[in-house]
Amino acid sequence: MNQENNKNELTIVSNWWLNIDKHLLICFLTLSFFGLNMSFTIKPGGSSVDQVSVFNAFTIQSVYLLIGVLIFISISFFELKALKKYAPFIFVLSLIILAITIFPGLGLERKGSSRWLDLIIITLMPIELVKPIFCIGLALILENKIEQSNKKYVYSFVLYFFISLILIIQPDIGQLAIISSIFVSSFFLSGFSFLALVGIIFFGLISFIGIYFLNFNVQNRVNTFFSPEQYDASQVNRSINAFKEGGFFGVGQGEGQLKNALQESHTDYIFAVIGEEYGALGCLIILLLFFYIAYRVFYRAYDEKDHFIQLSLFSLTVYLSFQTLVHCAVNLNLIPSTGMTLPFISYGGSSILGIALTLGLILLLTKKRHI
């Protein structure tokens, strides 16, 4: 009996290995372990680096990464039917957890925004988990191409409006932009009319303007970008200087100095740290890995006959790519600061758990299926 069970387990693992996209798996692991490597030289919060703090950061990040790898590998073993069956329940649960953040006394407020939940062992940012689940939820609603009823579009917009409203109240303009990009791209692929999409984009712009006038922190970030001479632009200037110091080949791992003066150098400005220590060459290699992931998943989605898989892969890749571009653009002072992490590489449990969920879903949806 034990031998038979062992054979079945080996068969499951061998089938998984045969059907999984190994190119994506290697890229995911490479970027993840590079992020772990970065945490070995950066103390969370910037300022002066001491070896005890760095070691603790590396240890904590190692635990997060181990959990993340176990999560995305485990999810990739699931079957498509199981995903469709349980996704709605997980989606509703994630929305409830996200909504809790805006209630006084329950949500944890930092820098004028209530985006987190204090779970003792981890400070969770629920939107990181909602983003990949939102991609799947939209795909479930919009997958029927033939249906003439507009109900699916109404249901989708209600979900988008609910999440957007929470992000506006928090507020979190960066995550609102990502949720909007997921929503617009999914609607576009589902065959929704161009004029309606313009209306949705207009709604998004109005929301961003509203957040600007209602939140001082957002005002300060936008004003600093457009009028750096009148506001404290030291953070952005240090980020730009980090790239200048790094040149083409970088100053070497752990040798960068400007990162110690950068607040949030371990999260929001990790790309600038890469630029200083690994140079333009290191930044280019990282971006090429992201580009290859996006290309491979987009190609797989384009070749897919199942509309649910196609929509899911397309929106997951849009979200991953858009977040990467926003993070890099902020570090290069091309857009105002948004507090956006770099997928795979930035320090933090919420970021890793959200990306792990995303990677697991991508691996699940890109598996070879034998009919």
Of the two residues 35 and 9, the one the predictor is more confident about is 35
Q: What pLDDT was estimated at residue 256?
A: 85
Q: What is the domain partition of the chain in residue ranges?
A: 2-365
- Average pLDDT rounded to a whole number, residues 171-196: 83
Q: What pLDDT was estimated at residue 35?
A: 92
Question: What is the three-class DSSP state of 119?
Answer: coil
Of the two residues 1 and 38, the one the predictor is more confident about is 38
- HSE at residue 212, side-chain half, CA atoms within 13 A, is 12
Angle between helix 270-302 and helix 234-246 axes, rounded to 10 deg: 80
Residue 108 in this model has a pLDDT that exceeds 90: no
d(CA 318, CA 301): 12
DSSP result, 237-267: HHHHHHHHHHTTT-S-TT--SGGGG-TTTTT
On whether the CB atoms of residues 142 and 187 are closer than 8 A, the answer is yes
* pTM, 2 dp: 0.89
Residue 243 in this model has a pLDDT that exceeds 60: yes
Ranges 1-10, 151-160, 187-196, 219-228: which has the least confidence: 1-10
On whether the CB atoms of residues 246 and 277 are closer than 8 A, the answer is yes
d(CA 26, CA 19): 14
d(CA 132, CA 126): 11
pLDDT digits (tens, 9 = 90+) for 111-136: 778 888 988 777 899 999 999 999 99
Question: What is the three-class DSSP state of 21?
Answer: coil
- Average pLDDT rounded to a whole number, residues 236-253: 90
Going through the chain in order, the beta strands assigned E by DSSP cover: 108-110, 113-118, 123-124
Using a pLDDT cut of 70, give the percent of the chain over it. 88
SS3 sequence of 120-163? CCCEECCHHHHHHHHHHHHHHHHCCCCCCCCHHHHHHHHHHHHH
The residues, ordered by sequence, that sit 6+ positions from 14 with a Cβ below 8 Å of its Cβ are none
